[in-house]
Amino acid sequence: MPSFMLLLYNDPANWQNMSPEDAQKALQKFMDWGSKLHSSGAHLASHKLADDAGKVMRGHGKVRVTDGPYSETKEVLGGYYLIKAANYNEAAERARDCPALEYGGTIEVRQVDPMMDDAA
Amino acid sequence: MNNEVIVAPDLLIDHLFRNRAGQMVAYLTRLLGPEHLDLAEEVVQEALLKALQNWPYSGIPQNPAGWLFRVARNAALDAIRHRTLAGEKNVQFAAERIRDAEAAAGDDREIEDRLRDDELSMVLMCCHPALPRDARVALSLKTVGGFSTREIARAFLSDEPTIAQRLVRAKRQIRESQVSFELPTGDDLALRLESALEVIYLMFNEGYAAQSGQDLVRQDLCGEALRLGRLLATSSVGTPQAHALVALMAFQAARLSARIDSGGELVLLEDQDRSLWDQKLVGLGFRHFSECAEGTQMSAYHVQAAIAATYAGVQQANGIDWPVILSLYNELMEISPSPVVALNRAVAVSRVQGAEAALAALRPLIEDRSLRNYYLLPAVQGRLLRDLGDREAAADCFRQALERPCSEPEKRFLQRKLRDCM
């Protein structure tokens, strides 16, 4: 079955003024969503990315490494899920009730190139 | 890191964040000193947000509280390092205290005991008599209860800037008067305990006054007040008064869901479906009630708890021992007289000596300015007059009651009573 990346972008400012109770409620929603993903067998991997600027590397011949702009942009790539789905529709359907959206985030859905599966 | 996920939503017990936030703030305040209460709150907030941002990807750790503590502690050490670099003096001692505390930490049980002590010290610090009473309540809810400024504002039907300002002032006062985090002793301890019980009861009453369907935050106040009351009562400085207050709150909380019926209508105590009373809370009430009998001092909490226990102890409303209730109200009038107590006593008088005697007992209250906006006074009068068959005078009383502030279910209740008179 094809795999898809769900790339979760969020604006950290949205989380700043949460009370402990609100934070726990939000977390509960994420856990409920996540456990649905797991029990359906669609979950392959997920990671949170560090909250730092990251590094950007570029160059021909001479490689330059600079600090990434990521900590200054409003929306940052917070983390990703790798999931199994039959097609884009199904992948988007799984992402639809991800609480990140409810809290003002954006989810980018990208299919892992099917040729990767053929190679495996 | 791995994804053999630990999606175990049951690790997220109710109010985990709220309760642990209070404990962590207390723990760090002990180590950092009360003058750094803000810093403690900041790093705890940071730890909770980190959990919210990480756990959805990694799953909930086996020991969520331990995770939160570790992250908060590291954030505190980080903050101290920054402040030291920025030239702030004396903060590095705090870092040493944090490291020492860690080295000295024992097993889980010892840690939990230590945290309870820290919470207790924090409650008593927030209830320092130097602070105005409303600041004590707000500060206790914020720091020990883990309520946000917005939630406190909502719970007290106030606005956020007012509460925020109250908190800022209270913290400044703690810094300026160098209030210590250590448990006080002797007379000072007695004074603080009294203040703490008062704060807890205020908190409870504010929650109890909330109507069903109203903001849940208000009802959470009852739960938090009970939690703090039990913390105090079962601690090394627990007093019979504290047990009495817990008993009183438990009995009252047990009836919360029976106060309003499925149609949203108000149900009087004597008409309540007793099977709806929360038996766990009734049991808790009786356990603490038996503990409060120790000691020699009879407090207002004792008498109020005894009244609540008398109601809770019978299976049917018609089994209520009104002479006992009346004698308890007489006692309460001696210890802690107030117009509201006198009004409640009059209801007991009507059951023992009849409506006529009760009306006589109410007469002095009619002129009392503090009851001017209290709808229950004319409502009780109306009921007594109705019992005596004076429908017209009763109707007047219910009309008067309707002009005073009351909730929607109360209003509908009074309208029903008014219609019965016509």
pLDDT tens per residue, range A32-43: 999 999 999 999
Task: Provide the pLDDT confidence category of residue B5 given band limits of 50, 70 and 90.
Answer: very low
Q: How many CB atoms lie within 10 A of CB B300?
A: 20
3-state secondary structure of B203: helix
- On average, the pLDDT of chain B sits at 89
Q: Of B158-172, B214-228, B260-274, which has the strongest mean pLDDT?
A: B158-172
The answer to whether the CB atoms of A24 and B17 lie below 8 A apart is yes
Residue B333 lies in a domain: no
CA-based nearest residue to B163, from B132, B193, B194, B192: B132
User: By the CB < 8 Å criterion, does A13 face chain B?
Assistant: no
Tell me if chain A has a CB within 8 Å of the CB of B61.
no
A38 Cβ under 8 Å from any chain B Cβ:
yes
A81/A95 Cα distance (integer angstroms): 10
Structural domain of B11: 1-105
Q: Among A67-76, B226-235, B400-409, name the most confident range.
A: B226-235
Q: Can you give the residue range of the structural domain that contains A79?
A: 3-119
The SS3 of residue B307 is helix
Q: List the single residue in B with minimal CA-CA distance to A8.
A: B57
Q: Inter-chain contact A31–B12, Cβ cutoff 8 Å?
A: yes
SS3 (DSSP) at A18: coil
A58 touches chain B (CB under 8 A): no
Q: Would residue B1 count as lying in a domain?
A: yes
Q: Crossing angle for the helix pair B16-32 and B108-126, nearest 10 degrees? A: 80
pTM for the model stands at 0.85
CA B78 to chain centre: 35
Q: Is B323 helix (H, G, I), strand (E, B) or coil?
A: helix
In chain B, how many domains are there? 1
> Could you give the C-alpha distances from B399 to B130, B185, B395, B418, B422, in angstroms and in order?
44, 53, 6, 7, 12
Interface of B with A in 173-192 (CB under 8 A): none
Confidence of residue B238 (pLDDT cuts 50, 70, 90): very high
A49 in reach of chain B (CB within 8 A): no
Rama region for B260: left / alpha / beta (φ>0; ψ in -120 to 50; rest) = beta
ipTM: 0.91
Q: Which residues of A touch B220 (CB under 8 A)?
A: 21
pLDDT band at A120 (very low <50, low <70, confident <90, very high): low
CATH number, domain of A74, equals 3.30.70.1060
Q: In chain A, how many domains are there?
A: 1
Q: Is the pLDDT of residue B127 over 60?
A: yes
What would the two tokens of residue B233 be?
Answer: 């009562």
Report the C-alpha gap between B140 and B121 in whole angstroms.
11
| B9: in domain | yes
Number of residues in chain B: 422
Whether B206 contacts B155, CB under 8 Å:
yes
Are B226 and B160 in contact by the 8 Å Cβ rule? The answer is no
